[in-house]
Structure 1
């Protein structure tokens, strides 16, 4: 069965921080065999992922907001479904050193920098390029971030490609190049709920990790290696219920075979996540105002504060290099 792509207008941004009002489009990528994904050009955001349950009933398994104005309102939108960059997670004291030069990034979290700054990639309208390849549908979204944007050096050309394919497969493929040495770490901030409604307490979660970063009270990683969590409440190497589990942790993955396994027993839906990244951030939305525990974030990507940590996998990108990040979500029901 041939895949299809449908484009619809969402509206026009209100414009903020000197940005001009910009039209926003929604693209729906449909495999025709049950999986359909809707992406908005605003924030290159994942707005709907329609997946059938064991009885064939389809539901949206990501949290979405009601309209474009809600997505533009930071008070109502804690990065819901957004592509996050130029660097996801935190940069301590908003300071970055490269080749002896120090760069001060936008401080949007007290003294610190988080998720790309006040005007991170989630706040821009990306350019869309839809492609059909037989039974696969691909949407490429591109954004150019100028030198000095949020304090980062180098002009960065970023791309995220959403691909839907038969067998319930959603792939997110990120790439970036730069004109000057910089740091990059892109991810998606979707809140997953395989029941399609309610809270995620009934879900079970497994994570392929026996180590996690140790945070201080500002959620900055402390000096030293990740902690061994074998046998603790954070040991999710076997599926555990999310009921009563409040998680806001960064798990260091043991190997690339798989990253996370999320399951909703009531609907039978399962999502298996595979990535080439070193870590997955897990957040159960306990501080999502008005929507507490309505979804769970599984953010594959670099480690927090890696730009300032020589002991973490590097996040530097130099001219002539290509940043790559690939994460695949496999959906099934039974």
Structure 2
């Protein structure tokens, strides 16, 4: 067994991007972080979380996030539903692909019918990020940076974005996001990993708990409806007490009312548990029904509200020059 205070980093090139993407012909690197009994692998393509390898109660180690076989698969939109990627400049949807900011109407790339989704056709998930490594005695990090030019996918201002994957020997994986801009703009970043603590099969048998009493009611296109938030007590979406995910489709935004914890996921057979803590106002929960292998993982996307740029009564996603966008989400792993 790896000593609990041991940390290490391994790096290698995994390929070169194809000719059709926004960063064609760029080398893509893999960074593997190890701390204690956990290994985390990140690629510079899409600042993507590719593997999180953790032990079960018997000490056997498995990858607990969905991954694709190679770089070509990650570049293939038919296969890659944002698997593990960093999503931005604004995660979630923008209705009609347009928003008003300081009296100016901006039109974004419409990549979901007439709407804008997860940053656009060439969003942050399709870009090759610059990377550096930070090492300490009990933690190690891969820090990835991307400069998004003014007008990128329709967004105003040049945005400098950073995501740090920090792995602590005590069993914590932290996503830390930062961003700054040269002009007023919108920003809301998240990670789109699909978690499966069994390491295989579907997530239907997992126990899920969510620290939320309300969701944002959606229309048929998954945009917020006018009116009050929807209370969950007594409904099929009430996960305040841990229960099995089952076969129900989940594709909802759960409102987090206080920051002690956001979600807990447990696979009873392996004993693996994951607790999620975030400073974000809500959690997008998606049961992966549209994945390459349906329901092979559960997405837990901490971040901004859906269609926040067009809503006045939700937490703002505006960022001005001189300000720093910050977002921190922690995944704590244990066995029991």
For Structure 1 versus Structure 2, the TM-score category normalised by the shorter chain is: over 0.9
Match of 1:3 among 7, 11, 15: 7
Partner Cα distance (2:92, 2:158) in 1: 20
5 Å matches for 1:248-327?
248-288=251-291, 290-327=292-329
Contact 1:108/1:117 (8 A) holds in 2: yes
Partner Cα distance (2:137, 2:127) in 1: 31
5 Å matches for 1:99-248?
99-248=102-251
Partner Cα distance (1:254, 1:15) in 2: 45
Contact 1:130/1:140 (8 A) holds in 2: yes
**Number of residues paired by the alignment?**
332
Deviations for 1:229-265, whole angstroms, at most 9, x for unmatched residues? 1121111101010112210000001210000000000
Superposition deviation, residue 17 in structure 1: 4.6
- TM-score by length of structure 1 reads 0.98
Superposition deviation, residue 113 in structure 1: 0.2
Contact 2:22/2:126 (8 A) holds in 1: no
User: What is the RMSD of the two structures over their aligned residues, measured on CA atoms?
Assistant: 0.8
Deviations for 1:55-104, whole angstroms, at most 9, x for unmatched residues? 10000000000000000000000000000000000000000110100000
CA distance change for structure 1 residues 18 and 251 in 2, over 3 Å: closer, same or farther? closer
Partner Cα distance (2:296, 2:314) in 1: 32
Partner of 1:332: 334
Partner Cα distance (2:321, 2:334) in 1: 40
Partner Cα distance (1:102, 1:126) in 2: 29
Partner Cα distance (1:283, 1:319) in 2: 33
Unmatched 5+ residue regions in structure 1? none
Unmatched 5+ residue regions in structure 2? none
- TM-score by length of structure 2 reads 0.98
Secondary structure at the counterpart of residue 30 of structure 2: strand
Superposition deviation, residue 198 in structure 1: 0.6
Partner Cα distance (1:16, 1:177) in 2: 28
Match of 1:35 among 38, 57, 66: 38
Contact 1:41/1:125 (8 A) holds in 2: yes
Partner Cα distance (2:257, 2:248) in 1: 22
Superposition deviation, residue 273 in structure 1: 0.1
Partner Cα distance (2:288, 2:24) in 1: 32
Superposition deviation, residue 222 in structure 1: 0.7
Superposition deviation, residue 20 in structure 1: 3.1
Partner Cα distance (1:226, 1:112) in 2: 23
Structure 1 runs of 4+ with >6 Å offset: none
Is 1:26 the counterpart of 2:30 in the alignment? Answer: yes
